[in-house]
Amino acid sequence: MKGKLWAILLLLVAVTLAGCGGGGNDHPAIVQDILSNDNVDGYVVEDTAGNRSVGLVVRDGLNTVPAGIDPVTDSEYRAFLDFPLTSIPVRASVIDATLDLTIRDYNSTALSIPLRIDLVSFGTTLTTGDFDRALLIPLDTRTVNIFPSDLNHHVVIDVTDLMLTAQRLSLADFQIRVMEDLGTVVPGRIAIDDSTNTTVAPLLTVNYVN
């Protein structure tokens, strides 16, 4: 009887070790840095009369893309950034993701500018209709505050939830719309560095396992 019990215990231990893989079969985490595609990046601005126009980084030779409400003209800018996800396997399990932006302008009397970051899907051509959240519906969103002290510095934003949504929807690109989080706030506008300098260009970093 004792022999049978001992055999059963040995079998249980073997099954447990096999299930754990002995620690040798764990998939290592992969960190992938993805620069934004400045051929797609740009902004849409709407003036107080409701007129809209599009600015594109490459076409118009822009070094920055603005986001927020201009305190002087009250024109509203919404920035759009595109990060191709070709380097991330469709079935990858995302651990976390961050968005690194370098702020080149802070134009506001407010102590901070609240921004809304929408995960969207606008393809490869930015249009004036993409300004409208009712037309280009957010697939996910998060908010963040930008402070005067962020000027000429990197701001790293946790966008894990947005990246998980992008993976769940099998999106080919991680595309975001950055706008002022509207409400009873003081108008403010920032400018995001989108130059060819890779040390300050918008950067999406994804940590995942296959």
CA 71 to CA 151: how far, in whole Å? Answer: 17
Q: For the residues 122-131, what does the mean pLDDT come to?
A: 97
Cα-to-chain-centroid distance, residue 195 = 18
26 pLDDT more than 90? no
13 pLDDT more than 70? no
Mean pLDDT of the chain: 90
Say which residue, 56 or 186, is predicted with more confidence: 56
CA 35 to CA 85: how far, in whole Å? Answer: 10
Would you say the pTM of this structure is higher than 0.85? yes
Say which residue, 66 or 184, is predicted with more confidence: 66
- pLDDT of the residue at 20: 46
52 pLDDT band, cuts 50/70/90, is very high
Say which residue, 28 or 1, is predicted with more confidence: 28
Q: For the residues 201-207, what does the mean pLDDT come to?
A: 97
- pLDDT of the residue at 22: 43
CA 113 to CA 183: how far, in whole Å? Answer: 11
Say which residue, 16 or 147, is predicted with more confidence: 147
Q: Token digits for 99?
A: 């968005």
172 pLDDT more than 50? yes
Say which residue, 81 or 12, is predicted with more confidence: 81
- pLDDT of the residue at 143: 96
CATH of the structural domain 27-209, one choice from 4.10.860, 2.60.120, 2.60.40, 1.20.58: 2.60.120
5 pLDDT band, cuts 50/70/90, is very low
The three-state DSSP-derived secondary structure of the chain is CHHHHHHHHHHHHHHHHHHHHHHCCCCCCEEEEEECCCCCCEEEEECCCCCEEEEECCCCCCCEEEEEECCCCCCEEEEEEEEECCCCCCCCEEEEEEEEEEEEEEECCCCCEEEEEEEECCCCCCCHHHHCCCCCCCCEEEEEEECHHHCCCEEEEECHHHHHHHHHCCCCEEEEEEEECCCCCCCCEEEEECCCCCCCCCEEEEEEEC
